[in-house]
Amino acid sequence: MFFDEAKIHVKAGKGGDGIVAFRREKGVPFGGPAGGNGGRGGDVHVRANVRMSTLVRFEKQNHFAAEAGRRGGGKDLYGRHGQDLVIEVPVGTVVRDAETGHVLGDLVADGQQICVARGGRPGRGNAAFATATNQAPRISEHGEPGEARWLALELKIIADVGLVGMPNAGKSTLLAAISAARPKIAPYPFTTLQPNLGVVELDYQTSFVAADLPGLIEGASHGAGLGIQFLRHIERTRLLVHMLDGAAEDPVHSFDVINRELSAFSERLMAKPQMVVFNKMDLPEAREAWPSVNSALARRGIEVSSISAATGEGVRELLKQIAHRLSEIPVEIPVLEAYVEPEVDEKAFTIERAGDGWHVRGIAIERAARMIHWEQYESAARFQRILEAMGITLALREAGVNDGDTVFIGDTELTWGWQE
């Protein structure tokens, strides 16, 4: 089975906690705060690797986590940053946010990578809170949790030439004849269950990559047969080589069926340059059908080449024609349709009353609540000052909050108590 889709969960590392510590050195009678900050949590990156060809590794492993930052130390020692995690995928992988569907990256070159989850901010130690009026603070912060999300990975094979056609048209036989690829070949439908790639070398300076794509059938664009699983791979190719089965009952009808499926899946596919090849000229029935097929397509202005992939008849001339056509087709650089996060005001907040209490939501205030050491009196008092400075205290009072009410700030649950 060809694994060209996967869903994985990624989690960046949590920031390291800051600590409360003071200098206790001989000869330093008035040692000040010396609690160091924690380390930054590791990021998660997805990187394209040309040596990978499928997403099969994600069948058994689909949860990935970067390393957390270490907590700070005494003597103003910072915690070590968490190590970043790099997840390798095949070249041609499109990375999307599984929940929103937004494209995060289109990895089309070896070594190209994107960051898909940011590590958490480090918590500050008490040395960072020292001021002229508070020279011995007993305040520190927890590290911020790292980002976490589900990703949808979709592999789209990158090849110069895509061989398309009905099952048994001879695509695998041709690929085996013109390259070092060794696809499975047998005289029954759907022998090819996954795309096969082969490098075709005509001479020292001329080469291209061809992909044998599994046979399509009528209704493939709506889920029939195996074709719908591979139609998206054709989108990456520069040139389509449409192979006709010379031994088929009606090759022209098969030609029309395949083109209808390509058009139904994407108009962009039908706009791609296409060469038509009549195969199996080594068979008597194919030689008999060739004149009528050639004439029928010629009346539509379609030029057709005749070959025998099994014996090699006409194959060399076909490759020269393909190379010539490719030289006329510019190499497409895939346009990155990556989703750009809109700018948001992190200090903005909303207040909503529900049956279980008051819910305060906002990026900055939820982050502050997650990083507060609630067991530290000074930290709790500092959070109260943050609420007042951001205008949340006043907004809650105006909304009607009363002493004893439950206030939720993100995942933090507080009991409201206000003193004039």
The CA distance from 192 to 178, in Å, is: 17
- The overall average pLDDT reported for the chain is 84
| Helix (H/G/I), strand (E/B), else coil: 278 | strand
Instruction: Confirm if 36 and 142 have CB atoms less than 8 A apart.
Output: no
**Chain centroid offset of residue 351 CA:** 35
Q: Give the mean model confidence (pLDDT) for residues 260-264.
A: 80
- Is the pLDDT higher at 297 or at 193? 297
Sorting pLDDT into bands at 50, 70 and 90, what band is 233?
low
Q: 34-48, 162-176, 284-298: which has the minimum mean pLDDT?
A: 162-176
pTM of the entire predicted model? 0.72
Contacts of 89 (CB under 8 A, 6+ apart): 46, 47, 48, 49, 52, 55, 95, 107, 153, 155
- Per-residue pLDDT tens over the stretch 62-88: 999 999 999 999 888 999 999 999 999
3-state SS, one letter per residue, for 340-399: CCCCCCCCCCEEEEECCEEEEECHHHHHHHHHECCCCHHHHHHHHHHHHHHCHHHHHHHH
**pLDDT, position 55:** 85
Query: Residue 207: what pLDDT?
Result: 82
The residues, ordered by sequence, that sit 6+ positions from 419 with a Cβ below 8 Å of its Cβ are none
**Higher local confidence (pLDDT), 265 or 294:** 294
Q: Name the pLDDT band for 92 (thresholds 50, 70, 90).
A: confident
For residues 331 and 400, the model is more confident at: 400
- Burial of 348-381, coded b for 16+ CB within 10 Å and e otherwise, reads ebebeeeeebbebebeebbbbbbbbbeebebbee
pLDDT in tens, 330-383: 876 555 555 566 777 889 999 999 888 899 999 999 999 999 998 889 999 999
Q: How far is CA 57 from the centre of its chain?
A: 15
Question: What are the angstrom distances between the C-alpha of 263 and each of 78, 227, 258, 288?
Answer: 59, 13, 9, 30
The least confident of 8-12, 13-17, 62-66, 416-420 is 416-420
**Which letter does DSSP use for residue 218 in this model?**
T
Sheet holding 161-165, edge to edge: 196-201, 207-212, 161-165, 239-245, 274-279, 304-306
Is the pLDDT at 219 greater than 60? The verdict is: no
**pLDDT band, very low/low/confident/very high, at 220 (cuts 50, 70, 90):** very low
Q: For residue 52, what pLDDT is reported?
A: 84
- Note the Cα 99 to chain centre separation in Å: 12
Task: Dihedral sign for Cα 174, 180, 181, 185, please.
Answer: positive
Please name each of the domains of the chain with its CATH number. Answer: 5-155 (2.70.210.12), 161-328 (3.40.50.300), 350-415 (3.30.300.350)
One-letter amino acid identity for 11? K
> What is the rounded average pLDDT of the residues 227-252?
80
Q: Which of 115-119, 128-132, 158-162, 348-352 has the lowest mean pLDDT?
A: 158-162
Is pLDDT at 43 greater than 60 in this prediction? Answer: yes
What pLDDT does 225 receive? 42
